[in-house]
A = this chain, B = another copy of it.
Amino acid sequence: MPDRALHVDQIQTPAPVVDVNRMHANLRRAAEYTAAHGLAWRPHAKTHKSPALAAEQLRAGAVGLTVATPREAEVMSGAVDDLLLAYPPIGRAKLDRLMALPERVRLSVGLDSAEALAGLAEAAHASGRTVGVLVEADAGMGRVGVQSPADALALARMAADAPGLEFRGLMFYPGHVRSHVEEQDSAIRALAARIAEFVDALTAAGLAPRVVSGGSTPTFWRSHEVAGLTEVRPGTQIFNDRTTAEIGACGWDECAYSVLATVVSVAVPGQAVVDAGSKALSREEIRADASGFGALLDRPEIVVKSVSEEHGLLDLSATDWRPRVGDRVRIVPNHVCVSVNLHERIYGVRGDDVVDVWEVEARGR
């Protein structure tokens, strides 16, 4: 895989490049933090979709991986023996794919409905597997998850009673907490209180959760403040991105991922156009107090002010820097997970040398 002869200038743009030293530093920090606080670290593979990078996470101390799709589960099962599918598998085809994972894989599934649970129970029983269940609770995001401890208890009982299933615990995703890390105090307290309600109700009914799985990159470094939490599932944190930096959950020099792009036009005054647009960066607005769709790694004051499919427009209004057609830049996107998903491979670089190439093998269905 590594092509030691390749120089970063030989990569055709647009293409994602990862500073390998920064990535390893990010992994070390996550391992140290979770170890210090007795939390299991189960990173989400949706961010990199690469089994080689999953293996790096395991080597750094992860207990297993989180995945969102059957495809991610299949691909990651080549590198990982312990998988949490943090998404309900609905329908025969997806259940069949899950049950066909290698037997050595210890599988858990997060879900929030009796329908999902019944389908999973039937498939597990028929295949002779034991599948763990985490009941997903809505901790305030309002996306998915049971609304009340009573509903959680009902699903936990069904899981505990179903042959083929094993009730393992609770899962939640604090996706609503996206404020600056220094302004998360009340949200973190509310999260802890909410989780405690669910844990207490289950415990009182004799179904104490062994796993309480939460965490996200924006709340990652405050996970230890959520009492009762046993496990965290950060995705973005391996690479970080512009949003993560803007909300203070990483420093700019901890951004390991950028999209290498070439200036293709400077015809319109005040801007330079690069070949990384919404099909390389995505067109996700930033969820922080900033604008644009990315910023230059080496000149973060220069923002991608707009994108179309193959064009990214660098705003030069606040800089004297005037790039020329053919110049190259590295852009940190707002949201790294959706950017990675647009590419077939990621180049690992040290300085100007390409030291690794990782296929984004689990993208697609």
Return the chain B residue nearest A364 by Cβ. Answer: B344
Most central of A93, A275, A341, A343 by chain B CB within 10 Å: A275
Is B325 within 8 A of A309, CB to CB?
no
Is A342 within 8 A of B341, CB to CB?
yes
A299 at the B interface (CB under 8 A): no
| A337 CB contacts on chain B under 8 angstroms | 309
Is A266 within 8 A of B91, CB to CB?
no
A179 at the B interface (CB under 8 A): no
A279 to B343, CA, bound (A): 12
| A61 CB contacts on chain B under 8 angstroms | none
Known: A143-B308, A278-B282. 11 other contacts (CB 8 A): A10-B93, A13-B91, A14-B365, A68-B309, A87-B310, A138-B267, A143-B268, A143-B273, A146-B267, A283-B338, A309-B341
Return the chain B residue nearest A70 by Cβ. Answer: B12
A251 to B300, CA, bound (A): 43
Which of B46, B144, B309 makes the CB contact (< 8 A) with A273? B144
**Is the interface on chain A under 10, 10 to 19, 20 to 34, or 35 or more residues?**
35 or more
CB 8 Å contact bits of A98-131 with B (1 = contact, 0 = none): 0000000000000011011000000000000000
A283 to B140, CA, bound (A): 22
| A46 CB contacts on chain B under 8 angstroms | 309-310
A262 to B91, CA, bound (A): 9
A132 to B321, CA, bound (A): 33
Is A68 within 8 A of B310, CB to CB?
yes
| A10 CB contacts on chain B under 8 angstroms | 93
| Nearest CB of chain B from residue A97's CB, rounded to whole Å | 9
Is B147 within 8 A of A267, CB to CB?
yes
Is A143 within 8 A of B313, CB to CB?
yes
| A284 CB contacts on chain B under 8 angstroms | 278, 283
Is A90 within 8 A of B143, CB to CB?
no
A48 at the B interface (CB under 8 A): no
Is A365 within 8 A of B15, CB to CB?
yes
CB 8 Å contact bits of A282-325 with B (1 = contact, 0 = none): 11110000000000000000000000111101000000000011
Assess A311 versus B365: contact at CB under 8 Å? Given A87-B264, A282-B282: no
A309 to B10, CA, bound (A): 32
Tell me the interface secondary structure of chain A in the complex: loop
- State how many copies of this chain the complex holds: 2
Is A90 within 8 A of B262, CB to CB?
yes
| A264 CB contacts on chain B under 8 angstroms | 87-88, 90, 116, 144
Return the chain B residue nearest A328 by Cβ. Answer: B91
Return the chain B residue nearest A13 by Cβ. Answer: B91
Is B268 within 8 A of A115, CB to CB?
no
A174 to B147, CA, bound (A): 48
Return the chain B residue nearest A263 by Cβ. Answer: B90
Assess A144 versus B344: contact at CB under 8 Å? Given A325-B90, A326-B115: no
| A175 CB contacts on chain B under 8 angstroms | 308
| A311 CB contacts on chain B under 8 angstroms | 143-144
| Nearest CB of chain B from residue A339's CB, rounded to whole Å | 11
A43 at the B interface (CB under 8 A): no
Assess A338 versus B278: contact at CB under 8 Å? Given A46-B309, A138-B267, A265-B112: yes
| A267 CB contacts on chain B under 8 angstroms | 112-113, 136, 138, 144-147, 151
Is B268 within 8 A of A142, CB to CB?
yes
A206 at the B interface (CB under 8 A): no
A308 to B235, CA, bound (A): 13
